[in-house]
């Protein structure tokens, strides 16, 4: 099973700053089958990115995904107040596993 490790565990930033979240896989993720989700307290996850770099419908362009193989990154170019949440990566190239999440909190 592919294990996804997200870092950092918590990211403390101010609105307007850039956020860079990492997702590292224990084995190569085939065909860049990697997705990113945002989850706010009391809400369901929301799909942000699929195929490592394709934005889901309705997702603002301040969210971008990159990477391949074992190293993937979610970047939020300028944090808006509504972006403070927990972010999960998920690979779907070999079975399906989630990372443990990165919390983006207000500094």
Binding site for other proteins (CB under 8 A): 33, 35, 37, 43-47, 50-51, 56-57, 88, 90, 92, 95-96, 98-101
Query: Could you give the dihedral angle defined by the CA atoms of residues 19, 100, 2 and 37, in that order, rounded to the nearest 10 degrees?
Result: -60
Pick between residue 10 and residue 18 the one whose CB is nearest to other proteins: 10
**Complex with other proteins: residue 18 or 66, whichever CB lies closer:** 66
Distances (CA, A) of 82 to 10, 32, 35, 77, 78: 16, 28, 20, 14, 11
Q: How far is the CB of 38 from other proteins (least distance, A)?
A: 11
CA–CA gap between residue 52 and residue 89 (Å, rounded): 10
Residue linked to tokens 């990165």: 102
To other proteins, the closest distance from the beta carbon of 14 in angstroms equals 26
Q: Which is nearer to other proteins, 62 or 93 (CB)?
A: 93
């Amino acid at each position: 099973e592919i294990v996804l490790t997200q870092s950092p565990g918590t990211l403390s930033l101010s609105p307007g700053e850039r956020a860079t979240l990492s997702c590292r896989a224990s084995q190569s993720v085939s065909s860049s089958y990697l997705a990113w989700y945002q989850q706010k307290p009391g809400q369901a996850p929301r799909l942000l990115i699929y195929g490592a770099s394709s934005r889901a419908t309705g997702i603002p362009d301040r969210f971008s995904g990159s990477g391949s193989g074992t190293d993937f990154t979610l970047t939020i170019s300028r944090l808006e107040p509504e972006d403070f949440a927990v972010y999960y990566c998920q690979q779907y190239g070999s079975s399906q596993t989630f990372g443990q999440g990165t919390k983006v909190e207000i500094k």
